[in-house]
Amino acid sequence: MHSLIEQERAYGAHNYEPLPVVLTRGKGVYVWDDSGKQYIDMMSAYSAVSHGHCHPELVGALTDQAQTLAMVSRAFYTDKLGLFLKKICELTGQDKALPMNTGAEAVETALKAARKWAYTVKKVPKDAAEIIVCDGNFHGRTITIVSMSAEPQYRAGFEPLTPGFKQIPYGDVDALEKAITPNTAAFLVEPIQGEAGIIVPPKGYLKQCADLCRKHNVLLICDEIQTGIGRTGRLLACEHDGVKPDGVVLGKALGGGLLPVSVFLTCKEVMNVFTPGDHGSTFGGNPLAATVGLAALKVLVEENMIAHAEKMGDYMLTELKKIKSPLIEEVRGKGLLIGLSINPRYYSARDICLRLMKEGVLSKETHSTVVRFAPPLLINKEQIDFVLKALNRVLTQAYEEIKTT
């Protein structure tokens, strides 16, 4: 085993199972390992590197701000945070934003806001507020967030879990209507489920959910941590259904692939339930993060990355669906968030990812059955064709091995 891999395994917690490659640098859609081999990055750090590795304008903004003022906490105002918050509110159409660091922190912020809104505005009885979530959801790893997960591994051994959540099937509008009660504070949903295997709901699902939530005075909160910031060919994936949620959670790509930046966005009525001391974060909204977040949004718009993601995503989905292999069960996705479902009778998705790695393509499996393709948004047709040819070789070779055994 590689000495650096051994070192990481010896001194680090075994809470990940990385592919056996040691990466040392990146640029655009490419990364290189410690032997100098080049790969196309088809993961982009679960959408955190949507702008590409080491985007020069983002690195420049980070460097300049780091040499000026990086961190003072929210005990004081700075000249950067207001600019960032104004921009993200204008782009999303929301009134106010609360900055945090990681996506999980932003989800926790949304949960706190929904509960306090339910008690102070909707007048739900004390300790009775419910939040509806979907089976197959993934919103993070904190104790409260895993409490609303349907995945046994995420919950086992971390009890007692946080109460107040109700799970329903994903993509089922009737189930949502049946689950809503007078005590329902919010419906928290991913417009496309990422960790579940790139699960795309029926067209119009989110719009019907929005209508139901409005009818029953329930907040619709969209977790766009993976799907937002242009990933699906829209700024927010909920725009595909023409939906403006009551709340939006953003993270990952908001940090430009350089540092953690997240926000919870909502209307004044919801955000105004917070008063000084209710919630906070030492690092949330620091000048460095605000500068990079603002630059990430600026680059996204100026370089037309959203429309490019839609065009390249359509091309890649079309070409993937042309591949005829018994190993493929389904191709699904939207924009540059694509899942390739592998028939588990033949191979695990990890086996396919290991073979792709040898071909110079880096991806990662989801639940051992799905290969994820979510490259930086600046990927071009030539680079996609390279990936498609590599995938064709891998699937052909893998199936030939099955026939000869």
Q: Percentage of the chain with pLDDT > 90?
A: 95
Which of 261, 287, 302 represents a domain boundary (last residue)?
302
Predicted confidence at residue 1, as pLDDT, reads: 56
CATH number, domain at 378?
3.90.1150.10
The answer to whether residue 256 is domain-embedded is yes
Is 223 noted as a catalytic residue in this protein? yes
Helices (H), 121-267: 143-146, 152-155, 173-179, 205-215
Tell me the average pLDDT of the chain.
Answer: 96
Q: Quick one: 244 and 365 in the same domain?
A: no
The answer to whether residue 387 is domain-embedded is yes
**SS3 letters for 91-143?**
HHCCCEEEEECCHHHHHHHHHHHHHHHHHHCCCCCCCCCEEEEECCCCCCCCH
Candidate list 41, 223, 264, 364, residue with the active-site label:
223
Q: Quick one: 177 and 261 in the same domain?
A: yes
- Quickly tell me which residue has 């390249």 as its tokens: 312
Q: Quick one: 234 and 96 in the same domain?
A: yes
Q: Confidence class of residue 367 from pLDDT cuts 50, 70 and 90?
A: confident
Helix (H, G, I), strand (E, B) or coil at 215: helix
The answer to whether residue 338 is domain-embedded is yes
Helices (H), 303-348: 305-322
Which of 277, 302, 327 represents a domain boundary (last residue)?
302
Q: Quick one: 289 and 388 in the same domain?
A: no
Cβ–Cβ < 8 Å for 284, 209? no
What pLDDT digit, counting tens, does each position of 273-289 carry? Answer: 999 999 999 999 999 99
Candidate list 80, 87, 116, 252, residue with the active-site label:
252
Q: Confidence class of residue 403 from pLDDT cuts 50, 70 and 90?
A: confident
Residue 45: partners with Cβ closer than 8 Å, 6 or more residues away: 252, 257
Task: Say how many domains are in the chain.
Answer: 2
The answer to whether residue 163 is domain-embedded is yes
Q: In what order do the strands lie in the sheet containing 370-373? A: 328-334, 337-342, 370-373, 364-366
What pLDDT digit, counting tens, does each position of 221-244 carry? Answer: 999 999 999 999 999 999 999 999
Candidate list 84, 138, 264, 373, residue with the active-site label:
138
Q: Confidence class of residue 401 from pLDDT cuts 50, 70 and 90?
A: confident
Across the strands, what pairs with 21?
A: none
Predicted confidence at residue 384, as pLDDT, reads: 98
279 token code pair: 């919630």
Residue 174: pLDDT above 90? yes
Is 252 noted as a catalytic residue in this protein? yes
Cβ–Cβ < 8 Å for 208, 216? no
Helix (H, G, I), strand (E, B) or coil at 72: coil
CATH number, domain at 144?
3.40.640.10
**Mean pLDDT, residues 44-48:** 97
49 token code pair: 């590197």
Residue 102: pLDDT above 70? yes
| Count of beta carbons in the 10 Å neighbourhood of residue 402 | 12
Q: Quick one: 114 and 168 in the same domain?
A: yes
Which of 283, 302, 321 represents a domain boundary (last residue)?
302
Phi, psi of 87 (to 5 degrees): -65, -45
Residue 197: pLDDT above 80? yes
**Mean pLDDT, residues 255-271:** 98
Q: Quick one: 269 and 315 in the same domain?
A: no
Q: Confidence class of residue 328 from pLDDT cuts 50, 70 and 90?
A: very high
What pLDDT digit, counting tens, does each position of 54-93 carry? Answer: 999 999 999 999 999 999 999 999 999 999 999 999 999 9
The answer to whether residue 46 is domain-embedded is no
Predicted confidence at residue 402, as pLDDT, reads: 84
User: Pairing between strand 130-134 and 165-168?
Assistant: parallel
Q: Quick one: 287 and 312 in the same domain?
A: no
Predicted confidence at residue 404, as pLDDT, reads: 79
Residues, the chain, total? 405
Q: Quick one: 65 and 164 in the same domain?
A: yes
Instruction: Provide the domain limits for residue 351.
Output: 3-10+19-41+305-403
Is 321 noted as a catalytic residue in this protein? no
**Mean pLDDT, residues 311-338:** 97
pTM of the model: 0.96
Q: Quick one: 296 and 342 in the same domain?
A: no
The answer to whether residue 154 is domain-embedded is yes
